[in-house]
Structure 1
């Protein structure tokens, strides 16, 4: 294990590997949050807390953004 770590830093690949791990972790967190928020029970609890339906409130803003960007 220690020899592998020394070899990757000697070759200069350690930062590339760390970046891939970081981006992979972020992707897994976003995917997991999407899975949790797609559950109807969770959405019902969130609406009780005042968050409401995020998709319905955000979609008009996104459509307006794409219309402005297309001009």
Structure 2
């Protein structure tokens, strides 16, 4: 039984490694987007496009969502 599991991992049939790569990639994308959006010039450009300050716009909706969820 144990040798079959070891052979399956050697053959590349492990889903754990694929899941780890997927979650690592998502984490890197979120981190990169945070770095880009923390730049003042990018925020100024986004406000000129009409997005404004996204955090101030979204926070009341998130608070309302958590209030409704806690009921």
**How many residue pairs get matched?**
63
Q: CA RMSD in A?
A: 1.5
Give 5+ residue unaligned stretches, structure 2. Answer: 1-8
How far apart, in 1, do the equivalents of 2:45 and 2:26 lie? 25
TM-score (norm 1): 0.78
Give 1:7-22 correspondences, 5 Å limit.
Answer: 7-9=10-12, 12-13=13-14, 15-22=15-22
Match for residue 69 of structure 2?
69
How far apart, in 2, do the equivalents of 1:46 and 1:22 lie? 29
How far apart, in 2, do the equivalents of 1:37 and 1:49 lie? 14
TM-score (norm 2): 0.78
Match for residue 38 of structure 2?
38
Give 5+ residue unaligned stretches, structure 1. Answer: 1-5
